[in-house]
Structure 1
């Protein structure tokens, strides 16, 4: 799962934020501190044996995006752009671009497929003693169950 989480974070780095916002920082793990805006992969659950003989496992990966709250309205506009279903600032579009072409494996061969299924938890978050406006993105990943 470490390689999968790093690959999801790498895909999220393709996001292009509006001019003057800076760059989205991304990590495949829960960081001690964030440089906002920041995307990271958090908790995950695995449903084993969705196919016979360990042929398929399904992962639900909870990712978070946190935006600084220097100006509440501006921070929420940035967050809204990141949570959009499409466009250059869309995390969904950036992550799903890592699905590969038809017939190819996702995440550079680490999974059969992935799909950003929903956004939830749009609210204020405290992380390492600082407050951010943020949300969670749920990413469904399927792949071979017998992979190391």
Structure 2
């Protein structure tokens, strides 16, 4: 699995969320950006457990992603973040990302990985990014696929 391709495919999948009227569109990048246009999703830390099966046939990736929401006011920012972090629904990042798993029997992320699963949300708090405060959280995604 190629990290850059995996990260870009995850960001592409995240862009499929539909936020409530008046909030705007989620922006997303497969890398940690210098600056964000909120609400923004990005792929951050990337760790790999190599050789989970013999002959480089399986690697396991844990990808930590962040979503940041501007704080026009405290409550509305957190309501927007809650929508993005929900387990289901049109604004759910989990649903949008897991839709990239493809149909049963297909490879995930358009053939880039065997499978993926959003396993956890953590770190719901205020984040500072390039000197600006955002409310945000992290999503942990487990991805499995062939080693390169």
TM bucket, shorter chain: over 0.9
Q: CA RMSD in A?
A: 0.4
Which structure 1 segments of 5+ residues have no match?
Answer: none
Q: 1:138 aligns with which of 137, 140, 145?
A: 140
CA distance in 2, matches of 1:129, 1:114: 33
Which structure 2 segments of 5+ residues have no match?
Answer: none
Is the partner of 1:135 in helix, strand or coil? strand
Q: CA deviation at 1:5?
A: 0.1
CA distance in 2, matches of 1:9, 1:129: 23
Whether 1:99 and 2:101 are equivalent positions in the alignment is yes
Q: 2:36 is matched with which residue? A: 34
**Runs ≥4 in structure 1, deviation > 2 angstroms?**
none
The count of aligned residue pairs is: 146
Q: 2:87 is matched with which residue? A: 85
Q: 2:110 is matched with which residue? A: 108
Q: 1:69 is matched with which residue? A: 71
Deviation readout 1:55-100 (Å, 9 max, x if unpaired)? 0000000000000011100000000000000000000000000000
Using structure 2 for the length normalisation, give the TM-score.
0.98
CA distance in 2, matches of 1:48, 1:128: 33
